[in-house]
Copies of this chain bind each other. A is one copy, B any other.
Amino acid sequence: MRKKSVHPFQSTDNDVKKEVNTENLMTNLSNSYASDLLPSKDDKDLTKCFLLQVVNILLHYIEKTFDVKSKILDFHHPHQLLEGHPRYFNQLSSGLDVIGLAGEWLTATANTNMFTYEIAPVFTVMETILLKKMCEIIGWGETEADGIFSPGGSISNLYGILVARYKQYPEIRTKGMRALPCIVLFVSEQGHYSVKKAAAILGIGTDNVIEVKCDERGKMIPAELEKNVLQAKRKGQTPFCVTATAGSTVFGAFDPLHNIADICEMHKLWMHVDAAWGGGLLLSRDHSYKLSGIERANSVTWNPHKLMGVPLQCSAILIREKGLLGACNQMGAGYLFQPDKLYNVDFDTGDKAIQCGRHVDIFKLWLMWKARGTYGFEAQINRYMELAKYFYKVLKKKDNFKLVFDAEPEFTNVCFWYFPPRLKHIPKGFERDQELQKIAPKIKAQMIEEGTAMISYQPCGDKVNFFRMVFSNPATRQRDVDYLIDEIQRLGKDL
């Protein structure tokens, strides 16, 4: 492939760009930023050029892999890989998940497995570095924390509760739940259903998950938590864990973490924070205060595949106390985790996992972080927050929309009803609700059939079916928000 040292896109003339042919596109990208790619800028040619260069590198790798003359691997020790990268996260740029996509293509091409360092040396080291980074952002910089990437937020939450139980009762591993007292855990009624699922899987039982009442905004009420803990104790149950939510699924609510941490400390309960959805907000200096207190948690779930826009799957479970995760899960299989290896086997992280083989989820995150830096993530997340605020303000002015909770959104979730004209004058009550609950499903069905937009709806408690708008798509602009509102009115006005 011919290479030029001059960047062909320095001209600002769009027509000139358009005429650049494919071969010219395959040139030096060193003057481009991630923020020049789709959808940040509408530069299809540059995006294509970038991805074709990625593919070129991958094709070269594939050829080399099948060449018997090449070395099967070029081994480096973990400490060698850790050296020499002081600017891992120092780049000021912002971009888009085309980078994440390139990362995923590369991961697929490498087709390796996270269980031991010898099999995935670079990826294992990247995981160690990024887990440390994430722990620092949470506020655990002083301690030696730990963690692992798992196949999703539900599994990460399961890890949190699993380690919580092990910390209190290490005998659980060998003796099982029958050796334990009747342990119970607490989660808000707005918490994610994966907490109950975990309780069912872990043999705790969903009856032993106590749902704590929320305020009208969907936040756990600390006084209710305390009341529930005391009640459980009086009933002879043994509280061991509270799962707080930072960014609830439907309302985007943040539980008051400091108040919950106080209660956990007083009653010696493990505090797990499910920040699968809200964790990304820690990267925004304007908004991270909403997770204040998360540094007091014992474990945190944080999914970069949500707010940070990393391709699915990319979820981390972070544990404040180092060593617990390994102690809880290791089985020391002789065929994988030989102690007599030639390198520092601390990097054989596989035995911390509840899996054996484990997909490489780290590289795309590492590449995105390197391409855009923390500032890049921050800028994008702040933009989502601005969009949510804009959306809220527009809806508030419209007669035929009603917000489920009427206050500026704390997160990018905005929940609302649409009232077709014929319902507007029916007084609030059972009769109106009966009609209103049919509106959202009908509008959505219409949208799906026509393929014009996609928005979620659900009932919640005494609230009949309402729409939930969420901003986490980097391609979304104000005009798309306006379009959605018009579309709902168009499809709903005669219902």
Chain A residues with CB under 8 Å of chain B are: 38-39, 42, 44, 47-48, 51-52, 55, 58-59, 62-63, 65-66, 68, 71-75, 97-98, 101, 104-105, 108-109, 111-113, 118, 151-155, 158, 162, 172-180, 182, 192-194, 196-197, 199-208, 249-250, 305, 311-313, 328-329, 331, 333-335, 338, 340-342, 354-360, 438, 441, 444-445, 448-454, 456-460, 465, 468, 475, 480
Pairs across A and B, CB under 8 Å, 6 listed:
A44-B63, A72-B454, A104-B104, A154-B357, A194-B356, A342-B441
Residue in contact with A329 in the complex, picked from B192, B200, B340, CB distance below 8 Å: B200
B residues less than 8 Å from A52 (CB atoms)? 55, 59
Instruction: Please tell me if the beta carbons of A312 and B206 are within 8 angstroms of each other in the complex.
Output: no
8 additional contacts, CB 8 Å, given A111-B312, A152-B357?
A48-B59, A105-B105, A154-B355, A162-B201, A178-B180, A178-B182, A196-B331, A340-B438
B312→A359 contact, CB < 8 A: yes
Do A445 and B342 contact each other (CB < 8 Å), given the known contacts A153-B356, A249-B335?
Answer: yes
Q: How far is the CA of A39 from the CA of B360 in the complex (A)?
A: 24
Asked if B354 and A155 make an inter-chain contact with CB atoms under 8 angstroms apart, the answer reads yes
Q: If the complex has contacts A151-B359, A176-B177, A451-B73, are A203 and B203 also in contact, measured as CB distance less than 8 A? A: yes
Q: Is the CB of B202 within 8 A of A202?
A: yes
Structural contact, A71 and B451, CB atoms closer than 8 A:
yes
Kindly list chain B residues whose C-beta atoms are within 8 Å of the C-beta of A206: 173-174
Neighbouring B residues of A340 by C-beta, 8 Å = 438, 441, 465
- Contact, CB under 8 Å: B460 / A197: no
Residue in A108, A154, A465 whose Cβ sees the most chain B Cβ within 10 Å:
A108
> Which single residue of chain B is at the shortest CB-CB distance from A457?
B338
Contact B73–A193 (Cβ < 8 Å): no
Assess the B459–A312 pair: CB atoms within 8 A. no
Q: A62-B47, A111-B312, A203-B204 are in contact. Are A197 and B457 (CB under 8 A)?
A: no
Q: Are B458 and A305 in contact (CB under 8 A)?
A: no
On whether the beta carbons of B68 and A480 are closer than 8 Å, the reply is yes
**Contact of B73 with A359 in the complex, beta carbons under 8 Å:** no
Q: Which 10 A-B pairs have the closest CB atoms?
A: A203-B203, A176-B205, A71-B451, A177-B177, A177-B203, A104-B108, A151-B151, A342-B445, A335-B458, A193-B331
Chain B residues with CB below 8 A from A68, complex form:
480
- In the bound complex, CA of A40 to CA of B495 (Å): 60
Contact B451 A72 (CB under 8 A): yes
Q: How many copies does the complex hold?
A: 2
Residue pair B354, A154 in contact (C-beta under 8 Å): yes
How far, in Å, is A305 (CB) from chain B's closest CB? Answer: 7
* A201-B199 contact given A177-B178, A335-B249, CB 8 Å threshold: no
How far does the Cβ of A201 sit from chain B's closest Cβ, in whole Å? 6
A101 engages B108 (CB within 8 Å): yes
Chain B residue at minimum C-beta to C-beta distance from A359: B313
**In the docked arrangement, what's the CA distance between A248 and B278, Å?**
42
Contacts A101-B111, A193-B331, A441-B340; is A313 near B456 (CB within 8 Å)? no
Contact A55 B62 (CB under 8 A): no
Q: Do A335 and B73 touch (CB < 8 A)?
A: no
Cβ A335 vs Cβ B111 within 8 A: no
Residue of B nearest to A208 (CB): B176
Q: Which of B48, B73, B174, B329 contacts A197 (CB 8 A)?
A: B329
Shortest Cβ distance from A146 into chain B, in angstroms? 18
Q: Cα distance A153–B358 when bound, in Å?
A: 10
Say whether A97 contacts B111, CB under 8 Å.
Answer: yes
A294 → chain B, closest Cβ, in Å? 21
Q: Give the most central of A55, A75, A456: most B CB within 10 Å.
A: A55
Asked whether, in the complex, the Cβ of A342 is within 8 Å of the Cβ of B448, the reply is yes
B109:A152 contact, CB within 8 angstroms: no
**Cα distance A296–B357 when bound, in Å?**
27
Contacts of A453 in B (CB 8 A): 72
* Among A39, A62, A113, A357, residue most surrounded by chain B Cβ atoms (within 10 Å): A357
Query: Min CB distance, A153 to chain B, in Å?
Result: 6
* Complex contacts, A152 vs chain B, CB 8 Å: 355-359
Instruction: Provide the bound-state CA to CA distance between A101 and B111, in Å.
Output: 9
Contact partner of A75 among B72, B111, B180, B448, CB < 8 A? B448
- Given A192-B356, A202-B201, A335 and B468 contact (CB-CB distance below 8 Å): yes
Task: Assess the A334–B458 pair: CB atoms within 8 A.
Answer: yes
